[in-house]
Amino acid sequence: MPLAVRKRLVVVVPTIALLLVANQAHAQPSRDGARTTIINADSPAAVPDHYMVKLVDTSSVRSESLDEVAHGLATTYDGEVDHIFKFALQGFSVRMAAEDAQRLAADPAVEYVEQDQWVGPANDTQESPGSWGLDRIDHRKRPLNGAYSYPNAGEGVTVYVLDTGLRITHTEFDSGARARWGWDFVGMDPISDDCGNHGTHVAGTIAGTKYGVAKKATVVGVRVLDCGPNTLISKIAAGIDYVVQHAPRPAVINMSIECKLPSGQSCSWPTLDSTVNSAIQAGIPVVFAAGNFNNDACKRGLAGIPNAIVVGGTESNDSRSGSSNWGACVDIYAPGESIVSAGSASDTAVLSLNGTSMAAPHVTGAVALIMARSAQWAQQTPADITAELVARMSTKNVLTNLTPSDPNKLLYNDGPPVRGGSSIAVAPNADGRLQLVAATADGRWISRTQITPGTTAFTDATSLNVSRNYYSVAAQRAVGNAKVTTVALTRTGSTSPPLNDGEEIVIAEQLAPNFNNWTESPATLDGRLTAAALSSRGDLLEMWGANTLGQVWRRTQTTSSITNWSAWQPFGAFGAGAAVRSIAAEQNATGLPQVFVTTTDGRLLTGWETLKGGGFMTAQVPGLPGGAKVRSMAVARYPDGRVFLAATDDKGQVFRTEQNKGCQESFACNSWWTWSLLDGSVRSLAADVNANGLVEVFGVNAAGQIFHVAQVDADGNNWTKWSQIPGAPLRP
């Protein structure tokens, strides 16, 4: 390639994105005469004598004969095949003279011939480490807390990074345990090492142990850029073709490509568009950086991939980065300035980079987390993943410096799974046996009835509703009602105020007391929650909930019907500084509700009603031993009205306590025994009192297995050993 052309492609720009100079408008070959036109032949980035050929999709041109067809056409028109696209595109790349390419374009077997072009990332900018991106994406609003919370770690998802390669031995990828090479389309060998930082940095933001969004996902480096760094569109198309052929499912692709023509000029890459869209049709989501020229992304080559996820970049003040491309072709924004991640200089190298290439991997990591939720989510289409990401996993209307056509959506990644009931809840039947309800790992809402109080013997599971992706459950039986009521939260449904995003609320009731049969068509209530709890108020129930903003809300049944409730009312007794993650509630000795919440910073708070219909008092429950943060909790009510409380710390250790005496006086409502270790290692908890008046505690471990422990006598200090309850795994 002439030196002058190469120089204009490596202009120093203080952002990170793959820069592609493309033609302002390519001529589409007609089927009736202008068949010798070569697409993008007059592009400033055109590579002499290098072309990409898309074949007509006919029964005579299928993958089993592509080799023969490609080599036959190349020989006929005096060319030499470089790469054959078999999976993401029916075609091949070829080297031949311009006049021979024109003759090839006129062949009836050819749909079009496109001139190959050079690509290459802009110069990286390094700053002092201090990445804020992870901290930002797990908060709906500021202030941030200096930590990153996530619902799962992306385990089982493979992420393909089409870039400068990958340093697979970096400690961010567990020294190679979660990273591998795919193929090097520059050196044409299986060692796709990184000599330019960009690929390793991107992969670190996606899946690094410290800097990554999906910390247990597997990353595969597919090298399509040389150390220059330069490459051809055909190399990138070949990389996508490779992924479509080799990727296990679920998988996602991350890449960054940008047109570098002056503002106001458009570019398009039909061959690349075809391969990207084929990957999406094959079930592989593709995440693109929007680019860094402060231009309309639709005019910068991204209009041809409407089904890809296009990501713009933001600064730490939630302003669109001044260099980020914008507009209707952008789907979502994510942090893209001063992002710290792994470097390729050594196995411990770290550097800070800017650009939409740093924003895109935040979103790619979030896609991995969505697909890792369950087997059901792993099989969702890229369109479903995109809808989930953009509609639910984004914070609306917090960004500034946008254009009228921009989506005001900032990436939001769910925090830890809801605790304090979460995927499991129990409530006493009228005969004292416990009713267990749960959300399974594959998203079902199930129920099981205890056969004998105090044991692990339960009936087989009954599905209350199999058509949804359930996330969290709660259960309770009002004192004056013989039937158990259960609530489940599901990730589907439309947003309705006042609860600001979160999950839809579905409610069901036993058809008959003491039996595992339920309302045939569970009802959907208004509002959206991330955690729910039910407490008894005489013959009726009270519902408590937390939303994605960490706010607490409450409502009360107006009749015994499960669909008749008062309007939601905000519960501000815990104050604005308490960002609530989970919630539980019980009727205490006064006959009034006492609510418990865990906060995002690991505190356990309680509030109790002092007078029916009157005010609440609140306090912080004494902390766990050693100052450990509370991760999950559950409550139960003894027959004398005292409240039993169980909680886990960050290590999954289970602790227990209970009120010293009944909550007849306000101060006694927050007077507790010293915390005692209950052994075990679980993530989610549920608890209640059985027919013997003794507490039973249920826990779900990281594998989704259910375990059970029970009090032996009224002393409260003697317990059985933890034992497993067989059954389908639950959401951890």
- Residue 417 belongs to a domain: no
CA gap 555, 534 in Å, rounded = 10
Token pair belonging to 686: 């549920």
- Residue 257 belongs to a domain: yes
- Residue 419 belongs to a domain: no
> The domain that contains 211 carries what CATH number?
3.40.50.200
pLDDT confidence of residue 24: 34
Terminal CA-to-CA distance of the chain, rounded, Å?
A: 56
CA gap 19, 320 in Å, rounded = 20
Do residues 181 and 193 touch, judged by C-beta distance below 8 A?
yes
The pair phi, psi for residue 356, each rounded to 5°, is -70, -20
How many residues are given for the chain? Answer: 732
- Residue 541 belongs to a domain: yes
CA gap 718, 109 in Å, rounded = 81
198 is catalytic: yes
pLDDT confidence of residue 225: 85
Closest by CA position to 294, among listed 643, 707, 14, 39: 14
Strand partners of residue 394:
411
Dihedral in degrees, nearest 10, Cα atoms 572, 576, 578, 582: 50
Selecting among 100, 163, 194, 331, the annotated active-site residue is 163
Closest by CA position to 350, among listed 130, 120, 146, 123: 130
One domain, residues 100 and 156: no
In this structure, is the dihedral angle defined by the CA atoms of residues 60, 63, 65 and 68, taken in order, positive or negative? positive
One domain, residues 109 and 198: no
Global pTM? 0.61
One domain, residues 524 and 590: yes
Burial profile 572-601: b = 16 or more Cβ within 10 angstroms, e = fewer: ebbeeebbbbbbbbbbbbbebbbbbbbbbe
CA gap 448, 437 in Å, rounded = 6
One domain, residues 517 and 556: yes
50 is catalytic: no
CA angle 145, 151, 156 (to 5 degrees): 135
One domain, residues 708 and 605: yes
CA gap 105, 108 in Å, rounded = 8
pLDDT confidence of residue 415: 54
- Residue 331 belongs to a domain: yes
One domain, residues 255 and 113: no
In this structure, is the dihedral angle defined by the CA atoms of residues 714, 716, 717 and 718, taken in order, positive or negative? positive
Q: At which of 66, 101, 120 does a domain end?
A: 120
Strand partners of residue 342:
350
Q: What is the DSSP string of 451-482?
A: SSTTSS-BPPPEEEESSS-EEEEEEE--TT-S
CA gap 219, 208 in Å, rounded = 9
Closest by CA position to 171, among listed 347, 389, 409: 347
Which residue range forms the structural domain that includes residue 64?
Answer: 3-120
pLDDT confidence of residue 373: 79
Do residues 552 and 574 touch, judged by C-beta distance below 8 A?
yes
- Residue 418 belongs to a domain: no
pLDDT confidence of residue 467: 60
**Alpha-carbon distances, residue 211 vs 144, 157, 340, 362, 595 (angstroms):** 17, 17, 7, 10, 36
Token pair belonging to 70: 């490609």
Strand partners of residue 91:
54, 85
Do residues 486 and 437 touch, judged by C-beta distance below 8 A?
yes
How is residue 389 annotated by DSSP? I
Q: Which amino acid is at 711?
A: Q
Selecting among 170, 198, 362, 708, the annotated active-site residue is 198
One domain, residues 610 and 651: yes
Do residues 117 and 46 touch, judged by C-beta distance below 8 A?
yes
HSE-CB for 114 with a 13 A CA cutoff: 28
One domain, residues 448 and 492: yes
Strand partners of residue 524:
506
CA gap 149, 601 in Å, rounded = 10
pLDDT confidence of residue 414: 66
In this structure, is the dihedral angle defined by the CA atoms of residues 142, 148, 150 and 153, taken in order, positive or negative? positive
* Kind and range of the H or E run holding 707: strand 706-710
Q: At which of 390, 411, 432 does a domain end?
A: 411
* Kind and range of the H or E run holding 570: strand 569-571
CA gap 386, 105 in Å, rounded = 37
CA gap 117, 301 in Å, rounded = 13
CA gap 413, 362 in Å, rounded = 9
* Kind and range of the H or E run holding 71: helix 66-76
In 3-state terms, what secondary structure has residue 245?
A: helix
One domain, residues 392 and 443: no
CA angle 103, 106, 109 (to 5 degrees): 115
Closest by CA position to 121, among listed 56, 196, 214, 183: 196
- Beta-sheet strands, E only, within 307-408: 309-314, 332-335, 339-342, 350-353, 394-396
- Residue 211 belongs to a domain: yes
Query: Which residues of the chain register pLDDT less than 70?
Result: 1-35, 58-64, 119-130, 260-263, 414-421, 466-468, 491-502, 548-549, 576-578, 612-614, 664-667
> The domain that contains 463 carries what CATH number?
2.120.10.70
Selecting among 357, 374, 394, 535, the annotated active-site residue is 357
What lies within 8 Å, CB to CB, of 31 at 6+ separation is none
Q: At which of 120, 137, 167 does a domain end?
A: 120
CA gap 595, 586 in Å, rounded = 7
**Alpha-carbon distances, residue 530 vs 48, 509, 552 (angstroms):** 57, 21, 10
One domain, residues 657 and 705: yes
One domain, residues 390 and 504: no
One domain, residues 238 and 335: yes
Q: How many domains does the chain have?
A: 3
Burial profile 311-324: b = 16 or more Cβ within 10 angstroms, e = fewer: bbbbbeebebbebb
CA gap 425, 584 in Å, rounded = 10
Q: Which amino acid is at 574?
A: F
Q: Which amino acid is at 273?
A: D
CA gap 402, 321 in Å, rounded = 9
Token pair belonging to 378: 């792993």
CA gap 296, 324 in Å, rounded = 9
**Alpha-carbon distances, residue 555 vs 242, 505, 547 (angstroms):** 55, 13, 14
- Residue 160 belongs to a domain: yes
Strand partners of residue 518:
510
Token pair belonging to 287: 């995440």
Q: Which amino acid is at 121?
A: P
> The domain that contains 36 carries what CATH number?
3.30.70.80
582 is catalytic: no
